[in-house]
């Protein structure tokens, strides 16, 4: 059985790339291939041209949080980080730094078996940040987090990307990805379905882009659009909706018709609609 | 490699299991030594092996090593271990050396404790005591056995990932298979890695039944080498899917 087939994409520095797909799509397997934990039959996964295991300082260049975060339950959070800092050749001072960064300093001396799911997730993120890596890979990091935790995670990802890091985050939480990702890679059944900037992937729906436009004189607006060959229908919320036409063409048509606009908005499909369409899954 | 070894040693000493089993090893060793020193009257020739050879560290470090390596799978810490150190062979080497070091350290601690207790009791009773050179040699032999069985345990655990199966397996080997072989087919039994070869290294028991120290050490290293090679091949081939 092929878990992942003919998948190719790149993740850029300074951007959050959402890696989206339904359960069983092959996301986790792909991330584990990136990290050398699973060996692909053919092909390579590289970081600036080098496989993970060939990097001079792997955990200093790539930090990873995998879906099933692994800890010895009898070891304290601080000791868990001490082990990884030592093995990765990172200064021990980083342990206190990352504990502070994920708000776990007070719990650092407690054994992990007493941690909540959210605390374990924070500890896993702290481990990923130990080497101050240029690349962050996170597999379903919002799992088990409460709403404030999810918000915290989203802010963290954005902050990491803003500092120039490449962030690849897998999720099946559609709303979460749409709020934090710049780019999207969508896969289903082990196959790549779409990739590109979020707006591009969302805009690539059947029928093309959708634009909502309003004017004080909607009759004149409707006539101007018709004159430009743009089909528009009344929107139940007010104004007109033009299917298959972007904001630039609608705005230009209104200008030519001498109609003053009060609203001109590109209406994206919801990520959920795009996701269902792209992955071929049922609602 | 130094960093990996240091990380493995931190792992060893940051769980309660190590201190619990090390504590049991120290208590049982002292209990045995104390009882023999208090209740028997060893001669000058027998005092060394009667009173001071009760170091039980080897069996405990064997269990600790198996728990240490199989725990990586049981608690899925193998993933974070290999993310920090992707070279799987170096990881296994570090783990093996760490438990050898831990075994030797535990054995030396026990040897010191037994020496203090045994010498104190024997002196108080006016009984003969062994010379410092003999005590040091015995401590070195026991430390070598503990180090070798620590490494052996890692090899066992690298091959048999299931923790209970691995531990029960070595107990069956130590309590049933090896004693039977030593009794029924000593020419085969003397190659046993848990009783026969350690006895040869320490120098206790019938000389005809066991190898001398040097060949026994070499045979133990051969056992460890075979287990390590098989475990390393398995670890290299395995995909870590969870």
Identify the helix (H) or strand (E) that includes residue B184: helix B178-184
**pLDDT at residue A182 greater than cutoff 90:** no
**Among A34-38, B85-89, B102-106, B127-131, where is mean pLDDT lowest?**
B127-131
Hey, of B3, B18, B19, B83, which one would you mutate to test binding to chain A, going by the most A CBs within 10 A of its CB? B83
Q: Who's near B67: CB < 8 A, 6+ residues apart?
A: B17, B157, B163, B167
Pick the more confident residue, A12 or B205: A12
Q: Minimal Cα distance from B67: which residue of A?
A: A72
Please, is A134 exposed, middle or buried when counting C-beta atoms within 10 Å of its C-beta (0-12, 13-18, 19+)?
middle
Percent of chain A with pLDDT over 70: 89
A184 DSSP 8-state letter: E
Assess contact for B77 and A70: CB atoms under 8 A. Answer: yes
Residue among A35, A38, A83 whose CB faces B7 most closely: A83
Q: Is the dihedral of CA B26, B102, B65, A75 positive or negative?
A: positive
Q: Which tens digit of pLDDT belongs to each residue from B108-157? A: 999 999 999 988 988 888 888 888 898 899 899 999 999 999 999 999 99
Work out whether strand A16-20 and strand A62-65 pair parallel, antiparallel, or are unpaired: unpaired
Distance separating alpha carbons of residues B58 and B44, to the nearest angstrom: 26
Nearest CB among A66, A71, A89 relative to B75 is that of A71
Q: For chain A, what is the mean pLDDT?
A: 84
Rounded to whole angstroms, the Cα distance separating B70 from B153 reads 10
Q: Which CATH number fits domain A16-202: 3.40.50.300, 3.30.1050.10, 3.90.1150.10, 3.30.230.10?
A: 3.40.50.300
A189-203, B123-137, B222-236: lowest mean pLDDT where?
Answer: A189-203
Q: How confident is the model at residue A283 (pLDDT cuts 50, 70, 90)?
A: very low
Chain A contacts in chain B segment 43-72 (CB below 8 A): 71
Query: How many angstroms away from the CA of B182 is the closest CA of chain A?
Result: 39
Residue range(s) occupied by CATH 3.40.50.300 in chain A: 16-202
Q: Between A282 and B230, where is the model more confident?
A: B230
Q: Angle A91-A80-B238 (CA atoms, 0-180°, nearest 5)?
A: 105
Using CB atoms, which residue from A58, A70, A87 is nearest to B75? Answer: A70
**Distances in whole angstroms, Cα of residue B2 to Cα of each of A56, A81, A89, B226, B240:** 16, 18, 10, 24, 25
Quick one: how far is CA A91 from the chain centroid? 30
B167/chain A closest Cα distance in angstroms: 19
Q: Does B240 touch chain A (CB under 8 A)?
A: yes
Residue count (chain B): 242
pLDDT band at A4 (very low <50, low <70, confident <90, very high): confident
CB A18 within 8 Å of CB A198: yes
A148: closest CA of chain B, how far (Å): 26
Average pLDDT over residues A134-160: 87
What is the mean predicted confidence (pLDDT) over A13-21?
88
Is residue A279 a contact partner of residue A24, using CB atoms and an 8 Å limit? Answer: no
pLDDT per position as a tens digit, A215-257 = 988 889 999 999 988 888 887 777 888 877 888 889 999 999 9
- The answer to whether residue B2 neighbours chain A at the CB level (below 8 Å) is no
The whole-chain average pLDDT of chain B stands at 89
Report DSSP state, residue A203: H
């Amino acid at each position: 059985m092929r878990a992942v087939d003919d998948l190719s994409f790149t993740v850029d520095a300074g951007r959050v790339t959402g890696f989206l797909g339904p359960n069983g799509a092959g996301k986790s397997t792909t991330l584990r291939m990136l990290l050398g934990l699973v060996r692909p039959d053919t092909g390579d996964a590289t970081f600036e041209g080098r496989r993970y295991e060939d990097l001079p300082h792997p955990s200093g260049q790539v930090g990873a949080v995998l879906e099933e975060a692994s800890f010895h339950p009898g070891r304290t959070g601080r000791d868990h980080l001490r082990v990884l800092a030592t093995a990765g050749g990172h200064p021990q001072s980083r342990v206190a730094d990352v504990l502070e960064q994920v708000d776990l300093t007070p719990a650092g001396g407690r054994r992990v078996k007493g941690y909540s799911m959210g605390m374990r997730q924070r500890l896993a993120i702290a481990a990923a940040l130990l080497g101050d890596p240029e690349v962050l890979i996170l597999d379903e990091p919002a799992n088990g987090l409460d709403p404030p935790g999810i918000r915290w995670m989203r802010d963290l990802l954005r902050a990491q990307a803003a500092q120039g890091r490449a962030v690849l985050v897998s999720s099946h939480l559609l709303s979460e990805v749409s709020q934090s990702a710049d780019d999207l890679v969508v896969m289903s059944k082990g196959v790549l379905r779409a990739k590109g900037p979020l707006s591009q992937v969302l805009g690539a729906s059947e029928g093309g882009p959708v634009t909502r436009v309003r004017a004080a004189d909607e009759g004149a607006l409707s006539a101007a659009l018709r004159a430009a060959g743009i089909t528009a229908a009344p929107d139940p919320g007010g104004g007109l909706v033009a299917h298959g036409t972007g904001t630039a063409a609608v705005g230009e048509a209104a200008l030519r018709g001498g109609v003053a606009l009060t609203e001109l908005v590109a209406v994206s499909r919801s990520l959920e609609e795009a996701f269902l369409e792209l992955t071929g899954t049922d609602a | 490699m130094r960093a990996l070894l240091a990380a493995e040693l931190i792992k060893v000493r940051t769980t309660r299991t190590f201190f619990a089993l090390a504590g049991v090893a120290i208590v049982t060793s002292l209990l045995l030594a104390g009882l023999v020193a208090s209740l028997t009257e060893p001669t000058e020739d027998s005092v060394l092996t009667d009173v001071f050879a009760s170091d039980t560290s080897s069996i405990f470090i064997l269990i600790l090593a198996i728990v240490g390596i199989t725990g990586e799978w049981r608690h899925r810490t193998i993933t974070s271990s290999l993310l920090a150190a992707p070279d799987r062979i170096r990881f296994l080497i570090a783990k093996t050396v760490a438990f050898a070091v831990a075994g030797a350290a535990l054995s030396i601690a026990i040897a010191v404790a037994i020496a203090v207790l045994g010498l104190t009791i024997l002196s108080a009773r006016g009984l003969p005591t062994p010379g410092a050179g003999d005590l040091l040699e015995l401590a070195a032999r026991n430390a070598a056995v503990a180090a070798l069985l620590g490494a052996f345990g890692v090899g066992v655990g690298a091959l048999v990932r299931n923790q209970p199966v691995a531990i029960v397996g070595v107990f069956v080997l130590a309590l049933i298979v090896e004693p039977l072989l030593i009794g029924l087919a000593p020419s085969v039994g003397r190659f046993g890695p848990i009783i026969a070869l350690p006895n040869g290294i320490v120098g206790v028991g019938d000389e005809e039944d066991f190898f001398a120290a040097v060949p026994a050490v070499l045979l133990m290293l051969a056992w460890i080498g075979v287990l390590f090679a098989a475990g390393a091949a398995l670890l290299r081939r395995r995909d870590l899917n969870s």
